[in-house]
Amino acid sequence: MLVDFRPHARLRGDSPTDLGASLLPVIKAVSRSSAELERVRVVCDWIQYRNNFREVVEIRSILPGGDPAAPVTEARPLPIGIREDSLEIAVDVRRAEGEPLAELTLALLSEPPERVLLEEWTRGSQSCIWDFNALYWAELGLWENATGRGYEQALPGGESDARNRAAATELVEDLFVVWDRLAAQGALPEKLPVVELGVGNGNQAKVFLDEFREIDQHRNTGYYARLHYLMCDYSAHVLDLARGTVADHAERVSSFILDATRPLTSLAFLQFQTFLVYISNVYDNLPTDELAELGGRTYLVQNRAYLPVKDAAALGDSVSASVEELPALVQKLLRLGPALLCEAYPANFRDLDAAVRFWQSVWSALRLQERYVALPGLDTYQLTDTLSGETLRPLLELGADVRIHVNNGALASFDDSVALLHPFGKLVCHDLFVTDIDGYRTTFRGPGKYEGSVVNWVNGPLLAHVGRRRGFDVHYEQFRHRSRGSIVTMTAQVRD
């Protein structure tokens, strides 16, 4: 048996976690079960997201690869240095206190719990949780009306770091230094494009444009009249809000609805011309797979979304539907949205408010079952359309077990975005970055739930590795305009 207690820093301090209370009941339960002890892993995490996709105790199968449903023919000898586990027991230490961990573990080992499945096994980036995520941004106004608060209020601190005035001033001054140098050489283009991906309510754009205009007037450079600021988002509702926020700068601003994972598709006319690509809290909200290196083997983490039977029964009662009818209703919700759902199913949803309540209740109850499936080789796994799994080799083969996000959506977005940059341009991104692979061994990095959206931390070493292969220097530093917090600033520029 292998035990991995990840939040070890919580074993010390003013209120240390009781290791025995979280671990011993689980180990005793495993010992009393028929599980092969030498092939069991016990993993303890501290899941900091109050709303998440996990139960207090979970069981995950570890499969050797190929077709999981195929019969086992004959045992094959293990290569030297390979450990073959068959089962992982996961415990959320934060919620473990007061829970009957031994009974929960024994029950899970004895018989799989009843679940109302919403999908078949799939890689994380293709799970229906991303359909929920897309629905949230498409119907953000309905969600905010139902909760009585905006998305920014759900963020830690109640606002985005993107609206920080000092940070905006620093960006503007850096741009002016580059433009002054190019102007002195007669090499400054007439149009000066700046792109923002993920505009929120437009506050970042307004702060940036206000500071830009003020500095330009003070210096009398005339750059404001040449500025072309492009606000880009995948939510029409968000762009409508943002346009209203920056109405004072309307002549300098354009807005685009685009797929954040493929910005170059919509902005190809700006390739090699953009002086600043600005991104804030977008990458952590894009689809991602997870891969794990366990016992010398590489595994893909597969998910399937489900509703616990108890929650499903309550949901069914609330909309006059049977538990068996729920998966189809959920799929209709994801395809149609709440407004059309209540029109298509008036017997279940008397009005729009009822459909929105159903959406929010399903999201609250939604869980992810997980399992590990061995990959025959990294070259068989495709990260993005242009990046193979071989890109991950330096990060996974470090000699210790690790489970990481590979942030497929963020990688695709980053790869597209750096192609927009002028040779003297830069990409600046504020987000939840893991800056060292060891960070995955000590802290839970998602997925969690922010309101109706999904959040996962971003694999900084992976983005830096891809950036270097594309000829860019990528640097990370703690967001310098706030003394505390988790936000990290990534900067990418063409390598000198």
Which pLDDT does position 398 carry in this prediction?
Answer: 79
| Rounded average pLDDT over 96-111 | 95
Q: Among 77-81, 87-91, 226-230, 334-338, name the one with the lowest average pLDDT.
A: 77-81
Give the Cα separation of 313 and 193 in Å (integer). 53
Q: How many CB atoms lie within 10 A of CB 190?
A: 6
Query: Mean pLDDT, the chain, as a whole number?
Result: 93
Q: What is the pLDDT of residues 394-403, one digit of tens each?
A: 999 877 899 9
Residue with tokens 């049977």: 322
CB atoms within 10 A of CB 401: 17
Residue 484 confidence (pLDDT): 72
pLDDT, average across residues 71-97: 74
Side-chain half-sphere CA neighbours of 63 within 13 A: 20
Six token digits for residue 250: 């309307």
What are 152-177's pLDDT values in tens digits? Answer: 776 655 555 555 899 999 999 999 99
Q: Residue 69: is its pLDDT beyond 70?
A: no
Instruction: Say if CB 194 and CB 278 are below 8 A apart.
Output: yes
Rounded to an integer, what distance in angstroms lies between the CA atom of residue 494 and that of residue 496? 6
Alpha-helix residue ranges (DSSP H) falling in 99-164: 101-110, 129-138, 140-147
Q: Tell me the three state secondary structure of residue 155.
A: coil
pLDDT score at 78: 55
Distance in angstroms (rounded) separating the CA atoms of residues 373 and 292: 10
Q: In which element (H, E) is residue 354 found? A: helix 352-365
pLDDT over 70 percentage in the chain: 94
pLDDT of residue 75: 45
pLDDT at 74: 46
Would you state the pLDDT for residue 485? 83
Q: Which of 412, 316, 302 is nearest to 362 (CA)?
A: 316
pTM for the full model?
0.93
Show the tokens assigned to 415. Answer: 């790869």
Backbone angles phi, psi at 344, to 5 degrees: -75, -30
423-478 pLDDT tens trace = 999 999 999 999 999 999 999 999 999 999 999 999 999 999 999 999 999 999 99
